[in-house]
């Protein structure tokens, strides 16, 4: 794979937060970034504008990661236009926190479908062409909650733990084809996902005594997509200030 040739990137859930920062980071060095979103078109447009402002290329790509049919249509359109997708970042995710005793089936299913089933919906379609092209970088955004669990987040923790298992298994399936698969595991990062949470109390739990920044997560993703990281696969790398 020529590192200087234009790489095609898809980042799911790229309209805000960590996903936006990752899309902007990967927009460097001439990459073409497909900015996925479902409902936040304004945010997705801002992501595209920032990528272009930094000298990159970007395009809005709307589809619901929970909907397998929508995923298939969108991925086929990207492949029809570019004949490849070099880098996939499975970032889309939601939370719906409550104790398991009070959790409805819909609370469980919605989080698992968005955070975990989406990995299957999107990655299955893209990994086939990566295998054919004998190159690929797949980065799955998990969470510290998926490693240690959080009270009130049984659904979220389960979905993120599932991503870790899927990462390790897929990495073994595709390694011979020059495809790496890794998981990045953020801890408490300054995003809307922390809205309503006791930030001062959270900081006391973090050895670094502060929240993380989205740029600290996106920088790691950028490295894992680089030539220098070609021998790193099947790993779960935390960005959590020392929590785990």
Q: Which residues are marked as active site?
A: 156
Averaged pLDDT of the chain: 95
**What is the DSSP track for 29-94?**
TT-EEEEEESS-HHHHHHHHHHHHHTT-EEEEEE--TT-HHHHHHHHHHHHHHHS---EEEE----
Give me 106's structure tokens: 């819909």
Tell me the residue range of the domain where 215 lies. 8-239
pLDDT in tens, 29-56: 789 999 999 999 999 999 999 999 998 9
Element (H, E) at 176: none
- Mean pLDDT over 203-210 rounds to 94
Q: Please check whether residue 244 lies inside any domain of the structure.
A: no
Q: Please tell me whether residue 241 adopts helix, strand or coil conformation.
A: coil
Instruction: Determine the 3-state secondary structure of 123 from DSSP.
Output: helix
183 vs 186: CA distance, rounded Å: 10
The whole-angstrom separation of Cα 203 and Cα 197 is 11
Within-domain flag for 2: no
CATH code assigned at 38: 3.40.50.720
Tokens representing residue 98 in the block: 């409550």
Taking CA atoms, 142 is separated from 3, 52, 161, 173, in Å, by 27, 28, 7, 20
Among residues of the chain, what percentage have pLDDT more than 70? 98
Share of the chain above pLDDT 90, in %: 89
Q: Residue 2 — pLDDT band, cuts 50, 70, 90?
A: very low
Domain-embedded: residue 3? no
In the chain, how many domains are there?
1
**pLDDT tens digits, 100-141:** 999 999 999 999 999 999 999 999 999 999 999 999 999 999
């Amino acid at each position: 794979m020529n590192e200087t040739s234009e790489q095609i990137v898809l980042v799911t859930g790229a309209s805000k937060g960590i996903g936006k920062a990752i899309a902007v980071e990967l927009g460097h060095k001439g990459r073409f970034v497909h900015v996925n979103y479902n409902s936040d078109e304004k945010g997705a447009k801002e992501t595209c504008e920032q990528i272009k402002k930094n000298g990159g290329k970007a395009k809005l790509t709307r589809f619901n990661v929970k909907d397998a049919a929508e995923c298939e249509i969108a991925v086929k359109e990207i492949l029809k236009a570019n004949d490849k997708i070099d880098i996939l970042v499975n970032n889309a995710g939601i939370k719906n926190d409550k104790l398991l005793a009070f959790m409805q089936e819909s609370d469980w299913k919605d989080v698992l479908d968005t955070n975990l089933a989406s990995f299957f919906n999107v990655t299955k379609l893209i990994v086939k062409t990566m295998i054919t092209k004998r190159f690929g970088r797949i980065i799955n955004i998990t969470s510290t909650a998926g490693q240690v669990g959080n009270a009130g987040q049984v659904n979220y923790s389960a979905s993120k733990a599932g991503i870790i298992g899927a990462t390790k298994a897929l990495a073994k399936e595709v390694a011979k084809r020059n495809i790496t698969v890794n998981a990045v595991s953020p801890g408490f990062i300054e995003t809307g996902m922390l809205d309503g949470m006791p930030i001062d109390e959270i900081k006391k739990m973090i050895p670094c005594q502060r929240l993380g920044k989205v740029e600290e997560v996106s920088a790691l993703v950028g490295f894992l997509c680089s030539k220098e990281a070609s021998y790193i696969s099947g790993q779960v790398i935390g960005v959590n200030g020392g929590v785990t």
